[in-house]
Structure 1
Amino acid sequence: MSTFQHIKGTFDILPDAYTIGDTRIAASHEWRHVETVLHEVMTRHNLEEIRTPMLEPTELVARGVGEHTDIVSKEMFAFERRGTHYVLRPEITAPVTRAFLEHHLEQRGGVQKLFYIGPCFRAEQPQKGRYRQFHQFGVEIIGASDPRADAETIATMIAVYRAFGLTGARLRINTLGEPEHRAAFRDALVDYLTPYKDELSETSQRRLDTNPLRILDTKVEHERALLNDAPTLLDHVDAEALAHYDAVKQLLKSLDIAFEEDPMLVRGLDYYSHTAFELEHDALGAQSALAGGGRYDGLAPALGHDGPLPACGFAAGMERLFLALDAIDYDYPAPETPRVFFAALGEDAEAWVFKTVHDLRQQGIHAAHDLKGRSLKAQMREANRQDAPYTVIIGGNELADGSAQVKTMATGEQTAVSFDDLADYLSTPPAA
């Protein structure tokens, strides 16, 4: 008989880790640990969580991601219902900006420092670390044009990976200047590349007409060689933009954050300005990016706002973080096990155990019991499997005496404990 299976490019998160091909899928308690660390880092950096719907208007995403990008033209999960066009969000920056504008979060006062964790969707060819449903976390600092906002965004990103002991990552930075600088640079880049158009890949030829800055992202060797003599953005930005860039670099140096300047690092959309950055790690192989971001003061006007809105942020993939953690053999905490396992002999004992287990849970004790009516031997095997430090066996004698024999599994020692004192006894971990 055939059964349903997960959709290509997606995966299940199970209580135990498992592999798909050569990729390890982390266990649910490992995901929970990583998410907890992320929350702790974000809280220390004075960020507040925001959660937006996975379903957004198609036009919002087209404007926020860029109509000429592969994401919008090829990779969106989009559909129409009763004349309205929807999309499963492929990223979260545009939805956060939409929520900021819709709910007038500027009225809360001060700079809004927000973070998010959640699933995204792209209909791309699945490969290691890249899925059709993937999970993204990130930061958006909205309302500050000061270079300190750029540096703090980068510092928060670095702090996430340091919290996991992940060293050896490389931070690349560049300045994009203002939109008019980018326009001048785009024209110069097109003029430079046009004579070589026939030598470019089909993708780069298309980008030369629609989004030429994306050609700078090429991984094709002969195209990268061509770009060695291409004009750079730094040749086109003005003194004010350079001053902003210099301030960001000095702030990073003051925090002992090492970086490499990369004049080829850009963002392909017009609403990005000033600082752009990416974090890479060799543990990820050819697709080495862990996270990336930049300043995007022009996004709000692209979404219909009546003027620029200072904003800076980064986004990162959870799956790529797990790949990097696997590469360093990260030591995840063990999953929590029950404090006590109850084994019952007979129907009366099963009834008493069922109620007692639920009473103990209400008192904050992690308790487990058998739900299959198995033999005592089978129940004891289950107690060992669940690795509970205490096991309690309840039968007719224990019910008559009002006292339980509590076995400390590590030592085999048994202690008689009255039913009235059982919760207090089990609340204390066994002596080492």
Structure 2
Amino acid sequence: MPASNTASDPAPTPAPTSEPTRHARGSRGYRRVNLALFAAGFSTFAMLYATQTLLPELSARFDLDPATASLSVSVTTGALALAVIPVSMVSERWGRSRVMTVSVFAAALLGVLAAFAPDFATLVVLRAVQGVALAGLPATAMAYLAEEVDRPSLGSAMGLYVAGNSIGGMGGRLVTGLASDLGGWRIALVVVGLLALGSAIAFRVLLPASRNFTPSTMSAARLTGVLRSHLADPVLRRLYLLGMIFMAAFGTVYNYLGYRLLAEPFALPQTVVGAIFVIYLAGTFSSAASGRLVGRLGHRVTLWTAAAITATGALLTLPDNLALVVVGLIVLTAGFFAGHSAASSAVGLRAREGRAQASALYLAAYYLGASVGGPVGGVAFHGQGWTGAVLLVLVLMAAAGVVAAGLSGRPVRSPSPAPARARRPHAHARSAA
């Protein structure tokens, strides 16, 4: 008697797909990913540079020269640079979402606490600890995007994430400029901390659960091997160096912009100086457009273009003309964010394994550029005024052009080993970048 098809028969199970499901552009999940990381990027950059607009006030309050006052920014970016690789290891075991969540909430609370520092030394210590807390988001966000977003949509998603960073940097400076005029630097830091806390809540609510993350325990030996493999890749080395150079130039300009605009011949009030940072919107648009430009021109030409735009913007800020200074800052900001977006997205495309560590190395170099560029820029500014700061930017952008020349004309791709039967003893390997 043939078996009947009853309800007790097991239902056929679909064959497993060979490719994990990823969020594609236009999908609901893709929109939620972008909104969540936009909120997290906003929170991170608002806190990371919360004291940048306040540097002249900190100099006056604690009797500091510009280079010393800039330590309130440099220690935060430096601590982030040192912590980003260890935190990326934690994300391999605990998960990207969990690490990012702890990061944004802890950093927001530390930001509020920093407002109550009794002296500058305590403020610097709290800002350093906050930098360690902030490392969780940038250490894992790019790896999360590389795992959860499909490759054709990755460039745009990365651009939108960087756009959130730019708006966070702008919003944090706008808020601190206004709040410091109304109640001083302590009130400014409290307001930024509370704003960051709200953004952290939005991030946690919006972020989709990871679909493609597989927990792993990475030993110290394994980590060392992964880091060595990334550092042995000449393309990744160039991308890391480019991130460092671009950030050193950008930090030089924005660390000491307030000192110039508050002094003669401009003599602007602090609120207006803070409002100048609305210029960060130029970075929002240029970072989103950078992904499309890479698809058309390749990473090398895109990075050359970004360096040229950044240098042009720096030159435009030289005359003592406020309109030209504003135009120059718009141009410089657009160039910087285009270069950063192009370099960071290329890292995600290039790394075949250990993407969190590849991204962490990029960000360590990137924030090291901010940490070193701040004091070096302070020396240039202290010695030669604004002209010295601009000359340093020009030298750095020329260096960026030289480094980018080592990339090929095609968009960066991960190296794909040839099949064994196609390998020849004397064949020359083609660059995958």
Bigger relative contact order (CA 8 A; separation at least 6) = 2
Same fold per superposition (TM over 0.5) = no
Structure (1 or 2) with the greater strand fraction: 1
Structure (1 or 2) with the greater helix fraction: 2
TM-score, normalised relative to structure 1: 0.21
Look at both structures and tell me which one has the larger radius of gyration over its CA atoms. 1
TM-score, normalised relative to structure 2: 0.21
